[in-house]
Structure 1
Amino acid sequence: MKGIMIQGTASDVGKSLVVTALCRIFSNEGIRVVPFKSQNMSNNSYVTIDGKEIGRAQGIQAEAARVEATIWMNPILLKPRSKQDAEVVYLGKAIETFSGREYREQFYEKGLEVIQESIKQLSKQFEVVVIEGAGSPVEINLRDRELVNMKVADLADVPVVLVADIDRGGVFASIVGTLELLEPEERKRVAGIIINKFRGDISLFDDGIQWIEEKAGIPVLGVLPYIDHHMIDGEDSLSIAHQFSNQKQGNIDIAVIHLPFISNYSDFEPFLYEEDVSIRWVKRGDEFGKPDAVIIPGTKSTIQDLKFIREQGLDVKIKKHFESGGFTVGICGGYQILGEEMIDEAGTDTGIANIIVKGLGLIPGKTIFYQEKETTRAQAAYHENTGFPVTLALEGYEIHLGNTFIKQNGCSFLRLANGKGEGYFQRNGQIIGTYLHHLFHNDEWRNRWINLIRKKKGLPLQEIRKIQDFKDQRFDALASEVKRHLKWEQLKDIMEKWSPKA
């Protein structure tokens, strides 16, 4: 199997976007291509068809490559639970929570083994692998036991292309500094450079290209323009600001609570395709304003984020919003927060067994946190309680440690494929709680819910917008734009002529 690895001079320079584009370009050329990232750190995850959890970026890259996502594309996923600790998701299943030091000392050998096995599995099925690195490959304090940059390039034995972000400034220093800090054998593996996020007339950078090539001794394979509104799901909290930064101002104002340990914020990306909807990320009470709807998203640390909501005065704002007739939705951890109480029976959320914490009390139910996490792809229909057509199907996925028990009968939101009621629905949809991530990726439901708001505000009702059609068009548009600015044949030649190590 041939391959190429995309590394970066820093975080958020565009590695994920470049890998996504390369996957679609190769796929468009009829090549069986697969994305790979050995170790991902993100609370924005993706559930595979067999109910396993991987990084969201690799799931999206698999879609761009037109292949089904599997655990081999991202065998290690680290999900931060605090400033020091992260849950380790190993081959799609949560196994343990480590501090940074514990992870480096106790997990390294196991990590190497699963990375090698993943590369072996992917090589059996695909012709080309496009590998994504993380952060910078020259973090001096981490490189002796790293599992995601040059060590992986060595294990897969592929050439490396270095991506640098010119928009943030210091692009020349970041490139030269990165190359200088690499070990000699690592430096030999770097076969090209891509400059990303260039604004303006690219021809004005010709002298810069010449300087880099002379200084580095390797080719600049492309200068990519700043690609705005690409709508490709991001990987981490840095991507939230970028993804929603240039949003239009719509007549419908939706406030999403920006929790410190937010997970799966891709739940809200479909709203970017609705022309009359705007999304605001709210961190403090004084930012709350008067939204038409407020959404509390999923979280990797529900009780800590409930504490944050109270500290910021957002609990009072959310309750007043609800009491005044505003629409309120809680997804996963947000659903738990809206309930009356949470019992950390196993200590899996706080580390303290049997601790009891009061929720916001807008939903009459309690949540109990257990030891085992539930991850599954889910199919559901509207519950007959909602008054919506019960034959219409919804799809999504569940990732949660606890279960919520509702004290009232006849107020479920969904009926799952196994016949069980799920979630909470009352006041004709004014308040909804559910464990179903990607609820709003269901076009019919998203349209129905926004139309409830439109009707209340006296705005014209809108027809359904099919997001998957838009998304597939975005993959092709991204691939076309990136390929236009790449020395594509030269990049492929580097990959084809790479000499495997003896």
Structure 2
Amino acid sequence: MRGIMIQGTSSDAGKSLITTALCRMFALEEMKVTPFKSQNMSNNSYVTVDGKEIGRAQGIQAEAAMIEASVWMNPILLKPRSDLQSEVVLFGKSVKMLSGRDYRETYYEKGLEAIQSSLAYLDKEYDLVIIEGAGSPAEINLNDRELVNMKVAELADVPVILVADIERGGVFANIVGTLELLSSKERKRVQGLIINKFRGDVALFQDGVKWLEEKTGIPVFGVLPYIDNHGIDGEDSLSIKNHYGKRSGAIDIAVIDVSYLLNYSDIEPFAYEEDVSIRFVKDSSEFGNPDAVIIPDTQNTLCEMNAIREKKLEQEIINFVKTGGYIVGISSGFQILGTEIIDQTQTDAEKGIQAEQSKGMNLISARTFLNLEKNTTRVKGKYHSHTKLKRRKPIEGFEIHSGKTEVLEEAGSFLELDSGRSEGYYGHNGKIIGTYVHHLFHHDEW
């Protein structure tokens, strides 16, 4: 295969950004280039044009390569639902929930087969494949059944570039230590090093470059500067929470800090609004007096509703809305704003098991029925005529959710989709909004 693989000495070393950059660089050279990541673990996902779900990073990399994203670019997506279980998405479709142990023991061969078929397809369809690894190739406890780093480089038979994050500190130990933990066969695949996220005068690091090259015998291909607000969606929600926690602005927006946050890229456009301060609120003591509240999407609606109640955030939010505050609920957040949530996935009449139910916040008179069927689709539309917004510019986004919400009150919808379907809830002159559409805030007007 004609290609190259980007691996890192750790998570968040910059693999996704560098892969994205290489996809664009080769595309500008008029090569037919594609990204590939065998297995992604992220709750930040991307909906392909045919309604399949892959890691968001690979979707953005496909855009950089000037091609449509497909499931062949990310055949396996793991979406953590708890500390012990993840949702397994295979070739864009959710197949089951598995623990880490069960996945390693029962899904390794199936995963290997999916990766091999994907590589064969991409090799046939593209001139060049830019492969992204995951975490570190030196995870000794996982190496016997790993599907993301050196095993993939071996299957594709491509050279590896190793990336290290200098901002974290310990860059020399990270590089040398990683190489020392690789087998001699694996180490031979590493053809170059990249130092990422460098701040200051790069001339001051030339001695470091020389030392690394002499110590490892591997050339340093480049020292890349730290780039803030580069616009490439991350895969780790921790980085976005840390970033916004340090900001200050005249407009205070409180985002409820849900567990297993889904599609946190919904919040990222606020990074470009200097007068907006985003803060993640964990409990009632942190709520304060915001100008607006966002309840984002989460992997488990019922658990999150109960957690919000236990943390005494529910009453804070209800009081906020009753006194004229603005609130937006996205996907699970929309469900939480309703009257009742009924989890039909727990229903088994033959065994006498009833559907699990929970009361919502009752800020919207609506009932949500959760089920196993997952809706993944791109959508286009405009603000519903009910909203009386003077400028009804087009809205584009995507839906990724299980379940259906029935609005019980006589109220207007939020969006009017091109498919003819009315979507969401718009009430109290826009002070309460619920929607299943992600990337609402990516539209400047809104």
Normalising by structure 2, what TM-score? 0.95
Q: Which residue of 1 aligns with 2:341?
A: 342
Work out whether 1:219 is the aligned partner of 2:219.
yes
In structure 2, C-alpha distance between the alignment counterparts of 1:77 and 1:224, rounded to whole Å:
29
Work out whether 1:357 is the aligned partner of 2:358.
yes
Q: Secondary structure at the match of 1:188?
A: helix
In structure 2, C-alpha distance between the alignment counterparts of 1:216 and 1:368, rounded to whole Å:
58
In structure 2, C-alpha distance between the alignment counterparts of 1:347 and 1:14, rounded to whole Å:
41
Q: Which residue of 2 aligns with 1:287?
A: 286
In structure 2, C-alpha distance between the alignment counterparts of 1:194 and 1:153, rounded to whole Å:
18
* Aligned amino acid, residue 335 of structure 2: Q
The CA deviation string for residues 121-161 of structure 1, in whole angstroms up to 9 with x for no partner, is: 11222211111111111111111111110010111111011
| Equivalent residue runs for 1:266-285 within 5 Å | 266-285=265-284
| Equivalent residue runs for 1:133-172 within 5 Å | 133-172=133-172
Deviation, 1:56, is 0.7
Deviation, 1:23, is 1.4
Structure 1 unaligned residues grouped into runs of 5+ = 447-502
Deviation, 1:277, is 2.3
* Aligned amino acid, residue 105 of structure 2: E
The answer (yes or no) to whether the contact 2:245–2:278 under 8 Å persists in 1 is no
Q: Which residue of 2 aligns with 1:368?
A: 369
The CA deviation string for residues 384-430 of structure 1, in whole angstroms up to 9 with x for no partner, is: 22113596432111111111111113321122333232111101100
Q: Secondary structure at the match of 1:346?
A: helix
Q: Which residue of 1 aligns with 2:255?
A: 256
In structure 2, C-alpha distance between the alignment counterparts of 1:353 and 1:436, rounded to whole Å:
30
Closer/same/farther in 2, CA of residues 4 and 245 from structure 1, 3 Å limit: farther
* Aligned amino acid, residue 368 of structure 1: F
Q: Secondary structure at the match of 1:191?
A: strand
The answer (yes or no) to whether the contact 1:231–1:243 under 8 Å persists in 2 is no
Q: Which residue of 2 aligns with 1:95?
A: 95
Closer/same/farther in 2, CA of residues 391 and 354 from structure 1, 3 Å limit: same
Deviates more, 1:391-400 or 1:196-205: 391-400
Deviates more, 1:407-416 or 1:45-54: 407-416
Q: Which residue of 2 aligns with 1:37?
A: 37
In structure 2, C-alpha distance between the alignment counterparts of 1:427 and 1:137, rounded to whole Å:
53
Q: Which residue of 2 aligns with 1:429?
A: 430
In structure 2, C-alpha distance between the alignment counterparts of 1:307 and 1:9, rounded to whole Å:
38
The CA deviation string for residues 336-363 of structure 1, in whole angstroms up to 9 with x for no partner, is: 1111111111139xxx861101111111
* Aligned amino acid, residue 398 of structure 2: Y
In structure 2, C-alpha distance between the alignment counterparts of 1:14 and 1:312, rounded to whole Å:
35
Q: Secondary structure at the match of 1:244?
A: helix
In structure 1, C-alpha distance between the alignment counterparts of 2:149 and 2:306, rounded to whole Å:
36
Q: Secondary structure at the match of 2:346?
A: coil
In structure 1, C-alpha distance between the alignment counterparts of 2:238 and 2:275, rounded to whole Å:
25
Q: Which residue of 1 aligns with 2:401?
A: 400
The answer (yes or no) to whether the contact 1:347–1:369 under 8 Å persists in 2 is no
Deviates more, 1:281-290 or 1:173-182: 281-290
Q: Secondary structure at the match of 2:89?
A: strand
Q: Which residue of 2 aligns with 1:109?
A: 109
In structure 1, C-alpha distance between the alignment counterparts of 2:371 and 2:96, rounded to whole Å:
14
Q: Secondary structure at the match of 2:333?
A: helix
Q: Which residue of 2 aligns with 1:459?
A: none
Q: Which residue of 2 aligns with 1:455?
A: none
The CA deviation string for residues 78-118 of structure 1, in whole angstroms up to 9 with x for no partner, is: 00111000000111110111000110111111111111111
Q: Secondary structure at the match of 2:34?
A: strand
In structure 1, C-alpha distance between the alignment counterparts of 2:354 and 2:160, rounded to whole Å:
47
In structure 2, C-alpha distance between the alignment counterparts of 1:86 and 1:443, rounded to whole Å:
34
Deviation, 1:245, is 5.7
Structure 2 unaligned residues grouped into runs of 5+ = 348-352
The answer (yes or no) to whether the contact 1:2–1:127 under 8 Å persists in 2 is yes
Q: Which residue of 1 aligns with 2:378?
A: 377
Deviates more, 1:271-280 or 1:143-152: 271-280
Q: Which residue of 2 aligns with 1:237?
A: 237
The answer (yes or no) to whether the contact 1:346–1:353 under 8 Å persists in 2 is no
Q: Secondary structure at the match of 1:167?
A: helix
Q: Secondary structure at the match of 1:154?
A: helix
Q: Which residue of 2 aligns with 1:476?
A: none
In structure 1, C-alpha distance between the alignment counterparts of 2:64 and 2:218, rounded to whole Å:
29
Q: Percent identity?
A: 62
In structure 2, C-alpha distance between the alignment counterparts of 1:290 and 1:28, rounded to whole Å:
48
The answer (yes or no) to whether the contact 2:368–2:403 under 8 Å persists in 1 is yes
Q: Which residue of 2 aligns with 1:450?
A: none
Q: Which residue of 2 aligns with 1:132?
A: 132
Q: Secondary structure at the match of 1:16?
A: helix
The CA deviation string for residues 300-357 of structure 1, in whole angstroms up to 9 with x for no partner, is: 1112222222232221221121111110000001001111111111139xxx861101
In structure 2, C-alpha distance between the alignment counterparts of 1:52 and 1:225, rounded to whole Å:
35
The answer (yes or no) to whether the contact 1:382–1:389 under 8 Å persists in 2 is no
Q: Secondary structure at the match of 1:443?
A: coil
Q: Secondary structure at the match of 2:3?
A: strand
Q: Which residue of 2 aligns with 1:479?
A: none
In structure 2, C-alpha distance between the alignment counterparts of 1:284 and 1:132, rounded to whole Å:
37
In structure 2, C-alpha distance between the alignment counterparts of 1:418 and 1:316, rounded to whole Å:
37
Deviation, 1:242, is 5.5
Deviation, 1:207, is 1.5
Q: Secondary structure at the match of 2:18?
A: helix
Deviation, 1:171, is 1.1
In structure 1, C-alpha distance between the alignment counterparts of 2:339 and 2:186, rounded to whole Å:
55
The answer (yes or no) to whether the contact 2:229–2:271 under 8 Å persists in 1 is no
In structure 2, C-alpha distance between the alignment counterparts of 1:155 and 1:220, rounded to whole Å:
25
The answer (yes or no) to whether the contact 1:4–1:160 under 8 Å persists in 2 is yes
Q: Which residue of 1 aligns with 2:299?
A: 300
* Aligned amino acid, residue 252 of structure 1: I
Deviation, 1:375, is 0.7
In structure 2, C-alpha distance between the alignment counterparts of 1:385 and 1:205, rounded to whole Å:
60
In structure 2, C-alpha distance between the alignment counterparts of 1:110 and 1:16, rounded to whole Å:
25
The answer (yes or no) to whether the contact 1:261–1:305 under 8 Å persists in 2 is no
* Aligned-pair Cα RMSD in Å: 1.7
Q: Which residue of 1 aligns with 2:198?
A: 198
In structure 1, C-alpha distance between the alignment counterparts of 2:427 and 2:33, rounded to whole Å:
46
* Aligned amino acid, residue 235 of structure 1: E
In structure 2, C-alpha distance between the alignment counterparts of 1:242 and 1:33, rounded to whole Å:
34
Q: Secondary structure at the match of 1:224?
A: strand
